[in-house]
Amino acid sequence: MDQGLIFNIQRYSVHDGGGIRTLIFLKGCPLRCPWCSNPESRKKVEPASWRKNGKIEQVGTWRSKDELLDEVLKDDIFYRTSGGGVTLSGGEVLMQAEFAGEFLKEVKNLGIHTAIETTGCFPIERIEKIVPYVDQVLFDLKIMDQKEAKRIIGIDPMIVEENFDYLLRNKEIQVIPRIPLIPEYTTNKINIQQIINFLVERQIKEVHLLPFHQYGSSKYDYLGWEYRMKNVPTLNEDEIQAIKEHFEKFEIAANIDGLE
């Protein structure tokens, strides 16, 4: 794969991996999280369009590895001085696993730290294409109940679990679970406890919590899609703190991270 379909590049990010990073957003995601703040990334790996400020705009541009490398290298000095690097996000990176692996190989060969964000929703063969070239995986854990996960977001937790364990066995990779805190979906006591149990079984000592926000809501208007989270309030600080403390009771350090 010489080209990847990219819908955004964000420089100077201090979330989504350590240090100062360039985030590259790959288009395409088979899931349907109702809270998704990048709905323009969803569905197929093909350009989409939306109407923004009265104009039709294309979402997603095919970019070669060399073009992306040129972009990434602009901030090489920041990666080296801050301990940062390059993070591939989405969408779901595994939709373009071959391109992602080939691109990260080149980034890593330049001595730059590499990370991906993933939901781990595809069979292992896709992750295998990336694993040799990635230093850190920010791995989303959302809804643990099998039936609910399939019904609400269209993911199979068994595949997620298998991928998570596969990555944990690779000692070269740092795996950091990320939990979006979404009222009415992920923050109920049962789901949080299921996530904690899953992490305790695997002796995981650190997670990132991503509190729900409404930043993506206008994008649904651009796309002409219904936004089901319109009336869902964000969590207040006390609620977020209570969830954080609950993780800490199980000796899991919970960092409040950037927002999903």
Amino acid symbol at 14: V
Closest CA to 259 of 226, 223, 235: 235
Report the nearest approach of ligand SF4 to the CB of residue 48 (Å). Answer: 13
CB nearer to ligand SF4: pick between 20 and 176: 176
Rounded Cα distance between 141 and 245, Å, is 18
Report the nearest approach of ligand SF4 to the CB of residue 20 (Å). Answer: 23
CA distances from 25 to 6, 32, 51, 65, 94 (A): 6, 17, 20, 14, 12
Report the nearest approach of ligand SF4 to the CB of residue 139 (Å). Answer: 12
CB nearer to ligand SF4: pick between 131 and 229: 229
**Cα distance between the two ends of the chain:** 28
Tokens of 191: 């789901």
What residues between 81 and 100 interact with ligand SF4 by CB under 6 A?
90-92
The two beta strands, 55-59 and 48-52, are: antiparallel
How many residues bind ligand SF4 (CB under 6 A)? The answer is 12
143 in contact with ligand SF4 (CB under 6 A): no
Report the nearest approach of ligand SF4 to the CB of residue 38 (Å). Answer: 5
Closest CA to 107 of 29, 21, 172: 21
Please count the other Cβ atoms lying within 10 Å of the Cβ belonging to residue 77. 10
Rounded Cα distance between 153 and 144, Å, is 11
Tokens of 30: 């088979």
What residues between 16 and 55 interact with ligand SF4 by CB under 6 A?
29, 31-33, 36, 38, 41-42
What residues between 144 and 173 interact with ligand SF4 by CB under 6 A?
none
Report the nearest approach of ligand SF4 to the CB of residue 164 (Å). Answer: 15
The site for ligand SF4 (CB under 6 A) is made up of 29, 31-33, 36, 38, 41-42, 90-92, 119
